[in-house]
Chains A and B, each alone.
Chain A
């Protein structure tokens, strides 16, 4: 009889604890939502951001079309002159390398995800997370393996691209991105897949508990740069 009582009490306490846990969770989630939506100024800012995003997206499409048209006009203007035709080809080729046009080709896709392991005394929780320097090192190795074009979460790697930590996210080309990080690279897939070698950075990350996946592909598309490179301080040396 006393045994039965004890079981009832234990079960009661357990149920109470579980219910309490759920209530706390529900409240937390509801609270975060409600404080956000109640803040009118923040909401206006959100609207404004969405408006600018849309304007940007539309302009970006227009720009893509205009650039295609420009290429056609340039081709038309240079078709009767071998020297000019060569220059035209160099521009088109150069635009692919500098990231000013979308490119396709064979290559690899590397996906980096934050580790799911539970931090123990032997494992530093910070090691489980993908950091800015991790992404930077992977890109450096990809270039070393002959990558001709690279993107990180569809942000094209260009001359001025830097990677910087911003809290739990990474800042790239002025754009904020979070894990998982999908790095695409065009080049000889066999060379690029060499990043998985023993002693390479990917293996080092795996040991730290970060999720690493590398896939070869014959058809990878890397978008054009989403911004504009303007020089304010730099001038070409006159010849």
Chain B
């Protein structure tokens, strides 16, 4: 009688253990499913993903064509120094444009922001979110109070929000954000549902958006120095 009881308990114990183990394993599988893998995407997502890769391929292909063309030009112009000099200057200008070291102009919008009274002032994070949204919508050049946004631009609050520094330079209100890019894309990036400029306005800050067909944005006026990248 006693023996039978013990065996039964052990059997049931093992069975329960096995069941729980299997369950845990299953939960783990579900947890580890990679939601970015295309195996787990729905049809609409797959279509966007495909369009995405097509664009990326086309872009990289165009870039490849351009690069090989440049190589050919260098090869052909080996004898005449003049041509080579022109090519190098052209390439340098392209690089400087990407670095933000050239004055640029084009169509875009100008956003002007001023903090409302009796509420927390517009913060560095607010500006960071606006810049990010504009970039996501395809902004080609941005400046805040004439500080050019380059790829190593930081926007930070100094002294518990006493003032904001962009590129290490103190900026004062009103904040004037100039953007070059598709005007309607730029505007819709910061307005409407979830738009940061509209949100600031609802909170009681003053904001205006003006379209301009020829905005000039000045170059980055500091030195871009690197010490650690190789």
Assess the A162–B132 pair: CB atoms within 8 A: yes
Assess the B98–A229 pair: CB atoms within 8 A: yes
Q: Does A103 contact B (CB under 8 A)?
A: yes
* Chain A contacts with B in 87-144, Cβ cutoff 8 A: 87-88, 90-91, 93-100, 103-107, 133, 136-137, 140-141, 143-144
Q: How far is the CB of A114 from chain B (nearest CB, A)?
A: 10
Assess the B71–A93 pair: CB atoms within 8 A: no
Contacts A21-B23, A161-B135, A228-B59 given: A98-B95 contact, CB under 8 Å? yes
Contacts A169-B36, A178-B35, A236-B97 given: A164-B106 contact, CB under 8 Å? no
Interface string of B178-195 (1 = CB under 8 A from A): 001110000000000000
Q: Does B150 contact A (CB under 8 A)?
A: yes
Docked Cα-Cα span, A50 to B57, in Å, equals 12
Q: Does A204 contact B (CB under 8 A)?
A: no
Q: Which of A50, A91, A188, A235 contacts B228 (CB 8 A)?
A: A188
Assess the B97–A18 pair: CB atoms within 8 A: no
Question: Which residues in A have their C-beta under 8 angstroms from that of B78?
Answer: 76-77
Assess the A25–B23 pair: CB atoms within 8 A: yes
Docked Cα-Cα span, A45 to B29, in Å, equals 25
Q: Does B221 contact A (CB under 8 A)?
A: no
Complex: chain B residue closest to A33, CB-CB: B39
Assess the A15–B64 pair: CB atoms within 8 A: no
A: interface residue count bin: 35 or more
Complex: chain A residue closest to B27, CB-CB: A25
Assess the A159–B151 pair: CB atoms within 8 A: yes
Q: Which of B57, B85, B141 contacts A59 (CB 8 A)?
A: B57
Q: Which of A55, A87, A106, A157 contacts B57 (CB 8 A)?
A: A55
Question: Which residues in B have their C-beta under 8 angstroms from that of A174?
Answer: 52, 55-56
Assess the B49–A159 pair: CB atoms within 8 A: no
Docked Cα-Cα span, A236 to B182, in Å, equals 17
Interface string of B134-167 (1 = CB under 8 A from A): 0110111100000000111111100000000000
- Which of A48, A84, A99, A162 has the most B CB atoms < 10 Å from its CB? A162
Which of the 9-residue segments B11-19, B110-118, B169-177, B200-208 touches chain A? B11-19
Q: Does A9 contact B (CB under 8 A)?
A: no
Q: How far is the CB of A177 from chain B (nearest CB, A)?
A: 6
Docked Cα-Cα span, A151 to B177, in Å, equals 26
Q: Which of A45, A69, A137, A144 contacts B125 (CB 8 A)?
A: A137
Assess the A87–B151 pair: CB atoms within 8 A: no
Docked Cα-Cα span, A220 to B61, in Å, equals 29
Q: How far is the CB of B155 from chain A (nearest CB, A)?
A: 6
Assess the A94–B95 pair: CB atoms within 8 A: yes
Assess the A63–B74 pair: CB atoms within 8 A: no
Q: Does A237 contact B (CB under 8 A)?
A: yes
- Which of B15, B88, B129 has the most A CB atoms < 10 Å from its CB? B88
* Chain A contacts with B in 225-239, Cβ cutoff 8 A: 226-237
Assess the A105–B97 pair: CB atoms within 8 A: no
Q: Does A70 contact B (CB under 8 A)?
A: yes
Q: Does A13 contact B (CB under 8 A)?
A: no
Assess the A144–B156 pair: CB atoms within 8 A: yes
The 4 tightest CB contacts between A and B, nearest first, are: A162-B136, A94-B95, A162-B135, A73-B74
What are 30 A-to-B residue pairs whose CB atoms are below 8 Å?
A15-B12, A25-B26, A25-B30, A26-B26, A29-B26, A49-B53, A50-B38, A52-B53, A55-B57, A60-B60, A66-B67, A66-B71, A70-B70, A76-B74, A87-B89, A88-B88, A96-B230, A98-B99, A100-B98, A104-B229, A159-B150, A162-B133, A164-B132, A174-B55, A174-B56, A178-B35, A226-B56, A227-B56, A227-B59, A237-B105
A interface residues (Cβ-Cβ under 8 A, vs B): 11, 14-15, 18-19, 21-22, 25-26, 28-29, 32, 36, 39, 41-42, 45-46, 48-50, 52-53, 55-56, 59-60, 62-63, 66-67, 69-70, 73-74, 76-78, 80-81, 84, 87-88, 90-91, 93-100, 103-107, 133, 136-137, 140-141, 143-144, 147-149, 157-164, 167-169, 171, 174, 176-178, 186-188, 226-237
Given contacts A136-B132, A140-B128, 7 further A-B contacts (CB under 8 A): A49-B49, A80-B81, A97-B152, A136-B129, A148-B228, A226-B56, A234-B141
